[in-house]
Structure 1
Amino acid sequence: MTEPEAAGQQHRSGFACFVGRPNAGKSTLTNALVGSKIAIASSKPQTTRHAIRGIVHRPDAQLILIDTPGLHKPRTLLGERLNDVVRATWSEVDVIGVCLPADQRIGPGDTYLVKEIAELPKRPTLVGIATKADLVSKQRMAEHLVRIAALEEELGISWAEIVPVSATAGDQLDVLADVLSGLLPAGPPLYPDGEITDEPEETLVAELIREAALEGVRDELPHSITVMIDEMGLREGRAKDKPLLDVYASMVVERDSQKGIVIGHRGARLREIGTAARKQIEALLGTPVFLDLKVKVVKEWQRDAKQLNRLGF
């Protein structure tokens, strides 16, 4: 057997994360590659608040994707802590995929991000990803790829590959998975076969409720909502073939006016959130769910270190 063939037999395993401006398609791409919804995706900026790990199992590799919050100019203590999560993740991964949406021009926010990565003491391998390929013409995509390539000279970086993809249409996802897996170090699988995330179920459930709450709310509200799982467990006394998962959760906001927005006229908005979230939780866990939702006001929780600690940030 020749040396390249022998190398081809090596199993690879390691970590990659996607970075990009808000709405660059990071969470959607993570979910598409994992093949299951583990990261919430929303049109609202700063949707992602935890570094969530999704696991892609392949015969030749195990790719662990870390979906991080977007790096942003923090206005609160929560914002500062989210940025700390991002930088800590960058310094630990093997590969960083920089998501540059094809339907938007590359701007100062993108170059700022790439410069930050370029200044890391231990720089991971970089892959340029032209996301949202389904939204543009071939000519526009060609121009976008040339512009991504030009960042090498401008910012003093080197792309291992540049890959156009569409997570929603499923275009080129296999190519991206091949590229990312091929850049990982040789090593055995780090997680058991079939496991798609190491996030606790309670965290995933809280995130799905928050995603439902974010749909259709005003711009100032998304940052102010977080979700606490007060209690969660299978209801006792049920037949084994008819399980029911009880979930008691509180949506936490910062002001009484926000509480009113989340509840809606005669509780209509709260019921919509509950229905949408329950469907997503049932799809994720494969169990019928009883969901009890409350709304609590915790004044200025994003700026209060004690409250942030209590809420898991």
Structure 2
Amino acid sequence: MRTQTNDAAPLGRPGKDVAGRSPERRWPPLTRTHKILFGAVIVLYAVVVVGVLTNSWMVALDWDTMLIRPYKRWPQLLPYLNVWIIAGQRGPSAIAACIWLVWRSHRARSMRPLLVMGTALLLLNMTVGGVKIVTGRLGPHYAHYMGSPELFAGGQIFPSGHTANSVVTWGVLAYLAVRHRRAGALVAGITAASIGLTTVYLGTHWISDVLAGWTAGVLVLLVLPLFEPVITSVDDRIQQLWRGRRGASQPSPAPATAQGWSGWDQAVRDELAGVGGFSDDQTDRPTGRPTGRRGIPG
């Protein structure tokens, strides 16, 4: 594999500058599309929250949907959706996700997949859990007054934790995917949508609960890239401690092409190069023709 060199880089030890300092890692800033999407989701989340707090048309929509009682109108779906909603809970979904994350961490020799999931779930619990406690909303099966938003009554139903958790859990798996990322994102979206709609069918959540859960989960995924420097720093420290316990005196110096890359980044870079046969100059090995693809994940 050919590698690119930086002729303007100062001479020095591999992985360090002339002053002996480690190169500073720089993550690209959020794109304009990312910022626009983040702003739009925040506005949507605020609209749902304010709509519920002010007993607006959002609450009327909740009651209209609840009074339809979908689980009674289409009872033939009840056995299947009962199983599906249980599979979508945090316990079963977390077990399935952790199996893949442990395998991914082992293959890349990096704790980053588990750290990313842990960070996402921590953000989810802090944000969604906080709103649940503050609003204290009751679910449809425990509602007391027709047309009431059922707020500050000791419940913990708004936003929907089921829905937000499915968005974050499966969204993180798509976020960490090296290949088939678009397919993973599509599967994550379908799963999160079906879990939310199933809670409405069963009458365990209001429509506004699900809308708030979807947007809250998406906000966690949009904020997650901002925590990458911290995640990578922790991952590097864990790897250094592990090498120290195995008797390594110091980490081996990084090659010139990996300056500023974490262990996870380099593992993904090597995996893509090995699987797809791409080099840094974006040429096809057998023919030497440009492929139009990058060998480094975006």
Query: Structures share a fold, TM > 0.5?
Result: no
Q: Considering fraction of residues, name the structure with more helix.
A: 2
- TM-score norm. by structure 1 comes to 0.26
Q: Considering fraction of residues, name the structure with more strand.
A: 1
Quick check: which has more Rg, 1 or 2? 2
- TM-score norm. by structure 2 comes to 0.27
